[in-house]
Structures are given as structure tokens and as C-alpha cells.
Amino acid sequence: MTSMKDTYFHAKLISFEKIRLICFSSLPFDPHRYEFRCEGKKILVSLERLNSVSGISIADFALSSPLKLGHEYTVLIPGFGTIPVDVDDASTFPEFDSLYSCPEEVLGASYSPERTLFSLWAPLASACFLKARFKNEERWRIYPMKRGEKGVYRLSLEGDQDGLIYLYCIRNSGLESEVTDLYAKASLPNGEASVVLDFARLSIPLHRECVKPRLQSQAVIYEGSVRDLTIDPHTDIANKGKFLGLIEKGRRTEAGNPAGFDYLLSLGFTHLQLLPFYDFKTVDERNPSRSYNWGYDPAQYFVPEGSYCSDVEDPSSRIKELKRMVAGFHEEGIGIVMDVVYNHVYGFEDSPFQKTVPNYYFRRRGNGSMANTSGCGDDFASERPMARSLILSCCKHWIEEYGVDGFRFDLMGILDADTLLQIQKMAKGINPSFLLYGEGWNMGGEVACPLGRMENYASLPEYGFFNDFFRETAKFYFSGRESLLQKAQYCFASSSVPFHERARFLSAGQSLNYVECHDNSTYFDFLSEVRPDFTEEEKLDACLAASAFVLLSFGVPFLHSGQEIGASKWGEGNTYNKGDSYNKFPYRLLDERKEMAEKVASFLSFRKEHPEFSLSDPKDIEKALDLREEGPCLVAQVKSEGGKTITVFFNPCQSDYNIGEEWGEYRLCSKLGLKKASRKGIVPGLSATVYIR
């Protein structure tokens, strides 16, 4: 756009065959005076339509042949000068993907000791440059990149470029932007620039072989955060808030109980799901103590978060230390699940995605405004070929380079199902036991293709879904709402067996069973709200009973860190930026409630010792399970492989219940202070009690 006092011009490509010129002026508008140019040379156009009213004129000009991207297009306006033609909407044209997408192309910086090849997909750009700073140099050098087919710009730098710092300079519609590489694997602090690294020298044994192959229904998942699990001052963990802090052995609380790594191992879960540890935006990596965020604000998808490493000025530090953390858990047989956020990015307007290929990577509503299904203002267009290709490349990088063992997809219901299926094929091809699950909420959407919603479970059989029906039923049932007993029975049977309700899933492995996670209120806080009459001990008993229900129900048990000790966030739910005081794992509380953690660990161990609780096929579950009612108690009888019958009683009431003595040998009970059956045939109030016969 150009202006002269009260006169303004703007030229915009509205299809590959048409340019629209808009003029705001009190002067007469003569469309035949304007000259359209490509790289300074005149191109033929014909006036197709002209509308003028009250000083506003809109003229559409037809091109003699379809416009080819990659050139500088301008309009010469006599007496005013030259203005660029805005081609930013070309990425939204129906034929764009067939003309310019190249999902098989290897993009980013491809390193070898002899040379590094830079490949940048920027089909709308008329020019691209590599801005590079070599090792031990302060000044930047600028190199023009050569445009190839499909709008891929390339440049090869000879020699060993390990440690090279770089940015791309991209000219779109006459405007130049400096951006980081969307495919960068390493970075300066706070995403200031991308870095080339020789990953071969950063390779370490990841001990993948130590993680036992298993079905998804055999997994037990524990959710936490690198920072939250290590930051509490009431431990002697040295690397607080860091990758390395999570694998420090021999650390203790103030009372001498295991902390950090040793404590996590004592719980016995099979997989640790960590909140995002790719590079996120709103924590200053040089001063992480000054801010807090869970990390659901993606910045660089291929790069680990710098605030979690010990030396953020060294681009290799975050990479090496994350690998050491993964390897440390692998050695103990624990898999690492990565929380990934491919449904939105932080601030699309200034993101490298928008600056690299304007208007391509984000969905729009029918009226042209940004789709906001995620609530973050910029739904990622996973269904578009190059967006899908980036997601697949990213997932593959985390699996192959860092050895992660699963993905938890944030707001999975926004992602298209085809992309999820391609991730599944790739991930399972590398690791058949790879875990795949996410939030399958139906949040609407701006696309017509099938999405990763829970209602589409039949077309996503290898994916698990957070089961909110289980969550709400269990929360209220163990708060004393006896009327939910039949719904609780259905939940216990994995929601894949049609018991009182229609089957919600194809198999138990699709049901993520939980009562709390990071972005809900803790169950203790929920009970404080809905049962103000409960004593603290009753709330803790209900927390333990609900956790036992999660651990013994058919499906995939999911525990939130702190759930096992009845942790509180003081009534807050979404504490994504509330700071360490709300989010840290409270090790001082662990010292006070060690018995609770031990009881949760005992139920978890019991599940692992009895594989029948991990059955996946609904037909097998129906054969093995008998569900009954004894007063207010849910009674689940499970036939074990050895011919024995395991009977579990869940009592959601405050009072004890007499069940008689014919149920077999007492094994364990969630009730606080109860080491063994206090009275034969009595199920304590607010408890889960197990017998074997």
C-alpha cells in the first residue's frame, strides 16, 4: 500500500489469474494508467471489473497467464510510484497445494562434515537469503539462496559447519523478515537464532531395550513436569528445574524420604508423561526463575526447552541433558511420554510459520478470520500437506534422536485423523509398543475432514482417549454419590464393554482412566468444594479410594503427580502460569503423607502382579469380570490365570459396610491407618479393599 495525503493504493492477488487494485482517493480513478510488472518487466493484464463509490475504487485485472510465485510483482502508479502486489493469500487458493506442496522434501539444515545443505520451503517468497555467523566470528554473512521446484530455496555451505548460527531472510510481498528455521534442531537462547549441530557427536546410548514391550492397556502413566518434580526447596536435588535434576539418584526430602528420581521409581509406574519439553515461548531461558509456564505455547517444535538445561548458552547442552534424562529412566525400565502441542503455536502473527509462508499453516473461518477452536487464536492446519509433513518429521525426530516412548496429544480433537494415522504408522514401525493418546474433545472446528475426536475412536483404534466420563463418574462416586454405582461399574469395565451404557471404545487400551490431571483441579480440592463436611482424613481416604479405582479398572491408569498424597492447588485449576508455589510437587507434604504414597504404590504393584487387570479385548474382559452390588459398594470379581478369584470392594460412603466372610483372604485396603483387615467381613468407609479366594 502507498499513500499521498488522502490517496491510498493496495494491490492484492485474489487468484492465480487475477489481481485486485484498491484505491481510496478523491482524485479520478483511471484503471488504464496503471502498469503491472514482474521483476520490473511489464506484464499484460485486462480490466475485468470496476466498482467506484464515494472515493473508493476497486478494479479487478485478469492476467494473460496464471501468475507464478517466486517473483517480485509490482504496480506502477503514475504520479505516486510503485507498490508491491500482495501475494500472501496465494497459499489459501484451492490449487496451491497441488502446485507447491512437496511433503517428501527434506527441509532444514542437513549437516555432514563436508558440507551443510540448507533447504527452505517458502513458495510465496520472491527472494530468500541465509544470514550466517560462523564459529568464532562476530559478524554475520549474507548468502543468496537459489529457488528450485515447488518453491524450495537451497544453499550449500562447504566445510564443517558444526556450530554455525543462522537465520533466514525472506521477502514476501515486498516485505523482508528474519526468521528461525521451522525445522531447526538446535537454537540460541529464547529462539534468537537457529544453530547447526553435528548430532553424531551428541549421540549416547538411550537404553531403549530396557523398556519392556507391552500393550497400551499394560501401561501405567504418571504425569509430571521437569520443573515441578524437581524445584521444591525441601529436597537436596541439585539441578532444580532441570532435565538432570530428574535423574539424580540418592536424593532425599528434609525427613530423609526418597525424592526426585528415587521417589518416582518407588511408585512403580511404567511410563512418565512429562509436560511439554520442546522449546516454548513464555519462559526466559536465561532467567527461568522470573517466570513460569507449563509449556503449551510452542515456539520451536524440534528443539528441547532451554530453561531445563544447565548451560543455555551452549546449544548442545539442552540436547545432551535431555538424552541423559531419557536414558536414565530407560535404564530403570520406564518409558518417557512426550506431551506434544500441534494444535496451535504461540502468537501466529509473529511466528516463523506466518513469516515463512503467510497464511498457510493456520486454519481460517469462512469469513477469513483466524479459527480459534483451541482458544489460543491460531488453530494449526494439520490437514495441509506441508503442515502434516512438518508434524511427521518432528515426531520422527523425537523418537529416533531422543528415544521417546509415547506421545500425549494436547487437544487431539483439533488434529485431523489422517495425520494421526500417519504418525501411528511411522511410530509403531519404529517401536511397536509406542503409546499414542490424547484429548479427544469435540470442540467444533473449521474443517470438513475427520478429526481426532473421541467419537471417531473406531477409525483410530491404536489411540487412547482421556475418558472424561470415567473422570466425572469416579470423582462424584467417591464423593459419596451412591446413585452412580452402575455408571462406576461401566467405567471399571473400561467403557468398552456395553454394561448399562453403550461401548465408548473398541478396547480397554483406548480408555485413559483418571480423576485428575495437570489442567483440572486436584481431586482433594474438588472434594473440598463438593463435600465441605468431609474431615481432612475423609478427603484423603476418598483420594486413595479413587486412585485405587483408577489403578484397578480395566483400561490405562493415569495418575497426576501429587494425586497420590492428596496435593492441593488451593482451589485453582488451570495453573499454567501461576508459578512454582501452585505447581511444584510438595515434598514436605510427602513427608507428612508417606503412607498415602505407599498405598498407591501397593495398588499399582498389585495391578502389575495380576495381568488380568490389563486385558484389552472387551470379550476377554467380559469373560474374566463379574460385576455385582453389595449395598452402596461396587463389587468387582476378576478371575485370575491361576484359577483364583480376586474380589475388589469399592465403598464410596463414610460408614463401614458388612459384607460377610465368604470373600476370601484379605490382601490390601486403601484406608489410611489400616495395615490389615481390622474386622473380618467389613469394608471400611471411603475405601477400596481387595480379597483373593
CA 230 to chain centre: 21
What's the CA gap between 296 and 352, in Å, rounded?
17
Residue 266 is classified by DSSP as H
| SS3 (DSSP) at 258 | strand
Sequence-separated contacts (24+) of 427-433 with Cβ below 8 Å: 427/395, 427/399, 428/462, 430/396, 430/399, 430/400, 431/208, 431/399, 431/405, 432/213, 433/211, 433/213, 433/214, 433/215, 433/405
Neighbouring-strand partners of residue 688:
650
Residue partners of 419: CB distance under 8 A and separation at least 6: 382, 383, 388, 391, 392
Q: Residue 462: which region, alpha, beta or left (left: phi > 0; alpha: psi -120 to 50)?
A: alpha
Whose cell is 485370575? That residue is: 640
Whose cell is 482417549? That residue is: 465
Catalytic residue, chosen from 228, 297, 378, 410, is: 410
| SS3 (DSSP) at 483 | helix
Residue 652 is classified by DSSP as -
Side chain identity at 289, as an amino acid letter? S
CA 395-397-400 angle, 5° bins:
110
The C-alpha torsion from 663 through 665 and 670 to 672, rounded to 10°, is: 120
3-state helix/strand/coil string of 369-431:
CECCCCCCCCCECCCCHHHHHHHHHHHHHHHHHHCCCEEEECCHHHCEHHHHHHHHHHHHHHC
User: Is 626 annotated as catalytic?
Assistant: no
User: Is 416 annotated as catalytic?
Assistant: no
Are the beta carbons of 410 and 440 closer than 8 angstroms?
no
Catalytic residue, chosen from 248, 378, 439, 516, is: 439
List residues with catalytic annotation.
410, 439
